[in-house]
Chains A and B, each alone.
Chain A
Amino acid sequence: MADRYIEPDTPELRARWGNFAWTEANAAKAKEIVARYPEGRQRSAVMPLLDLAQRQVGAELNTQGWLPIPVMEYIAAYLDMPIIRVVEVASFYTMYNIAPIGRFHVQVCGTTPCMLRGSDDLLATCKSRGMKKGHISEDGLWSFTEVECMGNCASAPMVQINDDNYEDLTSDRLNAVLDALARGETPKAGTQDPARHTVEPVGEPTNLVAMMSENHDYRSEW
């Protein structure tokens, strides 16, 4: 995260994105989003609109999408707010990409539970496939970030790729997911452990067993 930077404002960037405007569908969506907020609080729509703009840019480039400076200016003008306030929001939240990004943004969780369950292997796998931090792979497919906890600790280790989470990974399962994505398929999101549906225990439960059939008061046993 410390290496995030805003893509510099160059004449080329202006030429490419200077005439950014909502597509017809997104214009309707943007209108609907702004209408969710009470009169005089339209600026609150800045976060969903930045996301919408990022997705529109993504659709145009066939990537996850990012926010060039002229696009942020477009949002600022759309909401009639100072541009610096938009840039503050966009640079604060890591879900907004403020520099170009690849087709798939692979975000590997490296926080303790994932690390204990083998996220180091996932990082090594990504590295062996040529991904590195803040860098788009040559084929334009992969961008890579190591992130902190994504809240999927019960099915650690996990990886977030664009809008989907892939959980219970091993090196092989991650490779399978990435290969499928590269082939243009849509692998099943969520756990990759064939023995699991969601985050239910694998095999028999090992704790709170007495609670399985009926309510049980453990307090006297502590």
Chain B
Amino acid sequence: MPKVKVDGVEIDVPAGATVLQAAELAGKEIPRFCYHERLSIAGNCRMCLVEVKPGPPKPQASCALPATEGQEIRTDSEMVKKAREGVMEFLLINHPLDCPICDQGGECDLQDQSVAYGRGGSRYHEHKRAVTEKYMGPLIKTTMTRCIHCTRCVRFSEEIAGVDEIGALYRGETMQITTYLEKAAHHEMSANVIDLCPVGALTSRPYAFEARPWELKKTLSIDVSDATGANIRIDARGREVLRALPRNNDDVNEEWLSDKARFQVDGLTRRRLDKPFLRRDGKLVQATWNEAFAALSTLNPGASIAAVAGDMVDCETMFAAKALVGALGSNLLEGRQTGMDYDTSSLAAVNFNTTFNDIETADAILIVGAHVRWEAPTVNVRLRKAVKRGAKVFLIGPEWETTFGGEFLGEDLSLIGNLPGHVADALSGAKRPAVILGGAALGRGGLEAGLALAGQFNLVRTLEDGTAWNGFNVLHMAASRMGGLMLGYAQKGGIADLVAAKPKVLISLGADEVDYTKFADSMIVYIGHHGDKAAHAADVILPASAYTEKAGTYVNTEGRVQFADKAVFAPGDAREDWTILRALADAFGVSVGFDSFDQLRAAMVSAVPALGVEGLADYGAALPAGGGSASGAIAYPIKDFYMTNPIARASATMQRCSAELLHGEEFAEAAE
């Protein structure tokens, strides 16, 4: 622990820290552009210059200088002030003065730092350089004249995303950042370069010229496009959500966000259900809420009622539906829409036990039936980190382009029980072995066979340093999955049990992936927000709220309980889901025991206490023994990364991504 003096105050800094980090620890702000905590150190913007003794009598780039014992660091001297002013002046020489028409305006590092550390005016009267636009795909808008060559985007795509496609061509004054042959950036984390860019060179294309940051109402929320529960911030103006940005959470998404989570929000204003509908003579016709409930109150389902939860609903909605169905005397609840029927008696057996944070430290990982890049892009980033630390990765399932290497063993589930020798050796020799089962591996005995591996390789163990290690993981794809399982949304036989029970009324909570032809005799009441697949099959449509329009509790695939706030109001006559279920209880003539959201949440927490505490729910470390054998070819459920949920399917941005990036269509750029 070297001791250094920052502006006369002596502090201890961790070994290996840089001077910049030491100054940060001392509470001194160091301006920077190229330095980023999660990327390698480049040291090329020179904005972080400080005075360091002992050393040469000139300012030093603090981001690339190790802090050593006895250093005296000054961040407030005249030399430092002049150095910052000089660097800023140089950076601004070739930076256009187009802040009024730049989308970064108001949240621009260059703008902020030039106000804080720059000179009052310019002494430069020559021509500025100009750089042609570079096409980087449908998500990233470029204005490369604004680029200050910090190379954060280059380092991100190389180090974090693992898809080397952005580079710096030419040199000196003519240096240009571009993708290879100006092809679209081709991975599911590409838009994070927009956040990384400290200036307005890379901005969001769908959000271009939409709003200024100070006009937006910012609401903390949780992403529902996959089961990782990425922490997001919803930026809304009036009733419209304009963008979703990642929030820092080192345990979940670090500070990244998948392109789908970021850009599906424009789907929130399209294809929305904003009026109740009733099916009359085979056609859906608009109705009022009163007409809808009047029709529903004549149903008298009794105990012949079932509820199926969609992939994006919050725990409160599921609990309210459970209360309603329970009050009528039924317990037919299911959330696994596509017919999965794996055993859920132990939640630890269907949970990502290692946690995202610790999977980085695993040294041997077996992935079965998970297309991690598409099913959980932020987890893929962690796997890449693990491999960089030396982890060996083996995969069972059809080949996909990993960003971390890894060895594909084959496509059949039977491989779980019949691992090649070197794989078994790697797992048994590992200190921190991990197995990840994806959605495609859970059925057909896969979960049990996976659990048998947990026993065979002793995945649950105490590490040398005394901490507990649980290397058994299930990677879900639905944001509602773990919450649903905690609330009992699982039947022994899966959704087939619901079909077999032939319920008179089937409540569908935004469940768009269910095969409703099997429920031909049931009255399907769809409580959801988009006119997607399920709405076509529904007999009654009750318009509800999307994830941005209601407060809710979500449990991610690690069993991490997280709370989201309401950002905007639902459009038209749509209401929050729980109010609809509460009114439905009146229509059916039963009592569900809550009249407000707070009462609902209190009832839910008293039923499942873990849902009231933010953080990892404790499912215990004990895993069922498993056993048996699995067989059958693995097929990943996600065929199109950009089209996995009703919001994304309604989003013009996601449709274009799907067409252009996955199906190779070419789009002419609009003439500007």
Contacts and interface: CB of A to CB of B under 8 A. Distances in A.
A41 interface: no
B167 A87 contact: yes
Contacts of B168: 88
Interface in A46-105: 69, 82-85, 87-88, 91-92
Contacts of A6: 169
Contacts of A85: 164, 167
Contacts of B180: 82-84, 87
A1 interface: yes
Interface string B167-185: 1111111100001110000
Given A92-B170, A92-B171, A69 B181 contact: yes
B169 A87 contact: yes
Q: How large is the interface on B (under 10, 10 to 19, 20 to 34, 35 or more residues)?
A: 10 to 19
A13 to B, nearest CB: 11
Contacts of B181: 9, 69
B532 interface: no
Interface string B321-346: 00000000000000000000000000
A40 to B, nearest CB: 14
A84 B174 contact: no
Interface in A1-39: 1-2, 4, 6, 9
A4 B167 contact: no
B170 A84 contact: no
B164 A82 contact: yes
Nearest to A93: B171
Interface string B148-172: 0000000000100000111111111
Q: How large is the interface on A (under 10, 10 to 19, 20 to 34, 35 or more residues)?
A: 10 to 19
A84 B171 contact: no
B44 to A, nearest CB: 14
Contact of A84 (B166, B172, B173): B166
Contacts of A91: 169-171
B170 A4 contact: yes
A83 B179 CA distance: 10
Contacts of A88: 167-169
Given A84-B179, A88-B169, A91-B169, A4 B174 contact: yes
A9 B182 CA distance: 11
Nearest to A6: B169
Interface in B169-220: 169-174, 179-181
A69 B181 CA distance: 9
Which DSSP category, helix, strand, loop or mixed, fits chain A's interface? helix
B164 A2 contact: no
A1 B174 contact: yes
Contacts of B158: 82
Contacts, number: 34
Given A9-B181, A69-B181, A82 B170 contact: no
Nearest to B174: A2
A1 B169 CA distance: 13
Contacts of A83: 180
Interface in A120-162: none
A11 to B, nearest CB: 13
B173 A2 contact: yes
Interface string A163-194: 00000000000000000000000000000000
A202 to B, nearest CB: 36
A84 B181 CA distance: 9
Contacts of A2: 173-174
Interface string B455-466: 000000000000
Nearest to B163: A82
A6 B176 CA distance: 12
A6 B167 CA distance: 14
Nearest to B170: A91
Contact of B165 (A1, A9, A84, A92): A84
A28 B168 CA distance: 32
Contacts of A4: 170, 174
B507 to A, nearest CB: 51
A39 B181 CA distance: 30
Interface in B574-595: none
Nearest to A2: B174
Given A69-B181, A87-B180, A82 B165 contact: yes
Interface in B114-151: none
A83 B158 CA distance: 12
Nearest to B168: A88
B19 to A, nearest CB: 29
A131 to B, nearest CB: 22
A1 B175 CA distance: 11
A84 B164 CA distance: 7
Interface string B560-604: 000000000000000000000000000000000000000000000
A1 B180 CA distance: 21
Contacts of B179: 84
Name, among B166, B169, B171, the residue most crowded by chain A CB atoms within 10 Å (CB to CB): B169
Contacts of B170: 4, 91-92
Contacts of A87: 167, 169, 180
A82 B181 CA distance: 13
A91 B181 CA distance: 13
A85 B170 CA distance: 12
Contacts of B164: 82, 84-85
Contact of B167 (A1, A69, A84): A84
A6 B132 CA distance: 14
Contacts of B172: 1
Contacts of A1: 172, 174
Nearest to A83: B180
Nearest to A90: B169
A20 B171 CA distance: 27
B132 to A, nearest CB: 10
A69 B182 CA distance: 13
Contacts of B166: 84
Nearest to B164: A82
Nearest to B169: A91
A82 to B, nearest CB: 3
Nearest to B167: A84
Nearest to A94: B171
Contacts of A9: 181
Name, among B173, B174, B180, the residue most crowded by chain A CB atoms within 10 Å (CB to CB): B180
Nearest to B181: A9
A92 B169 CA distance: 7
Nearest to A8: B181
A144 to B, nearest CB: 19
A68 to B, nearest CB: 12
Contacts of A82: 158, 164-165, 180
A82 B165 CA distance: 7
A82 B171 CA distance: 19
Contacts of B165: 82, 84
A192 to B, nearest CB: 32
A95 B166 CA distance: 23
Nearest to B171: A92
A203 to B, nearest CB: 40
A87 B174 CA distance: 15
A81 B171 CA distance: 21
A174 to B, nearest CB: 28
B332 to A, nearest CB: 53
Nearest to B178: A84
B179 to A, nearest CB: 7
8 contacts: A1-B174, A2-B173, A6-B169, A9-B181, A82-B158, A84-B166, A87-B169, A92-B170
The 5 closest A-B pairs by CB, nearest first: A82-B164, A84-B167, A84-B180, A91-B169, A88-B167
Given A4-B174, A84-B165, 16 more contacts: A1-B174, A82-B158, A82-B164, A82-B165, A84-B166, A84-B167, A84-B180, A85-B164, A85-B167, A87-B169, A87-B180, A88-B169, A91-B171, A92-B169, A92-B170, A92-B171
Interface of B: 158, 164-174, 179-181
Interface of A: 1-2, 4, 6, 9, 69, 82-85, 87-88, 91-92
